[in-house]
Amino acid sequence: MNSQKVVLITGAGRGIGAATARLFAAKNYAVCINYKTNVDAASALAKEITAKGGRCITVQADVACESDVIRLFETTDKQLGPLSVLVNNAGILRPQSRLEDMTAERVNSMLVNNVTSYFICSREAVKRMSTRHGGRGGAIVNVSSGAARSGSPNEYIDYAASKGAIDTLTKGLALKVAAEGIRVNCARPGFIYTDMHADGGDAKRVERLEPIIPLQRGGTANEVAEAIYWLASDKSSFSTGNYLDVTGGI
């Protein structure tokens, strides 16, 4: 029987998700690389992991769509084996905007992509991991944001509120499944150099804000990946329902 651990990482073709996929593969996990649209980035990452002797698959799925999520988990079951770790990482950002200019469509889209997706992916993971359902336990790591604490005034309070919901989901779910062999924790990145800031209409946002970050720089996707890996690994075996800030001191 193959005893290799399996991790499913949502939004893993680029940015923090891709760095996390590289790290788990280097630690001998079989990796499911989920992406939504950027097939080239996901394929290039899979090629890179495979060339180093790692085992991975790429699966296109919109994690905001329930039927896509079900297919994503079933594909992982069939092609890689029983799930050990879920990293809820996929997220979106919309251009900086005052509340007065936010439509209901924008807010709903933010909540479906950043919150509903984490709920339904966690549901599928719990069905597979929980000892209550015959599973072997596991770990869920939610990627939230320092924005959950700051509220992101004058930038995007809809995004910040979506991440606040993830902090609450982390706490509630962690306590609900703690006795069922599953740990649930949260990594909260601060200003990280990725493409996401271009989606927010401010591609050089991290560089611009470097002077107000106590460590005087933004963070890298690799630094966030290390925090996610630690929260998923047995090294954090007595931690659940916790938040690990990766924010350079903010």
Residues carrying an active site annotation: 159
Select 36 or 183, whichever has its Cβ closest to ligand NAP: 36
User: At its nearest, how many Å lie between ligand NAP and the CB of residue 35?
Assistant: 4
For residue 8, give the H/E element and its range.
Answer: strand 6-9
Contact partners, residue 105, CB within 8 Å, separation at least 6:
none
Select 92 or 227, whichever has its Cβ closest to ligand NAP: 92
User: At its nearest, how many Å lie between ligand NAP and the CB of residue 138?
Assistant: 20
Select 15 or 54, whichever has its Cβ closest to ligand NAP: 15
Q: What is the 3-state secondary structure (H, E, C) of 75-105?
A: HHHHHHCCCCEEEECCCCCCCCCCHHHCCHH
User: At its nearest, how many Å lie between ligand NAP and the CB of residue 76?
Assistant: 14
> Rg (Cα) of the chain, in Å, rounded?
17
Q: What is the dihedral of CA 45, 32, 109, 95, to 10 degrees?
A: -20
Burial of 60 (0-12, 13-18, 19+ CB in 10 A): middle
CA end-to-end distance (rounded Å), the chain: 46
82 vs 13: CA distance, rounded Å: 22
Select 11 or 54, whichever has its Cβ closest to ligand NAP: 11
User: At its nearest, how many Å lie between ligand NAP and the CB of residue 2?
Assistant: 27
For residue 60, give the H/E element and its range.
Answer: strand 56-60
Q: Is 131 helix (H, G, I), strand (E, B) or coil?
A: helix
Q: Give residue for tokens 């002797």.
A: 53
- Chain residues that interact with ligand NAP, rule: CB under 6 A: 10-11, 13-17, 34-38, 41, 62-64, 89-92, 113, 117, 143, 145, 189, 191-192, 194-196
Select 175 or 203, whichever has its Cβ closest to ligand NAP: 203
**Type of residue numbered 121:** C
User: At its nearest, how many Å lie between ligand NAP and the CB of residue 211?
Assistant: 16
Nearest to 160 by CA among 101, 115, 205, 214: 115
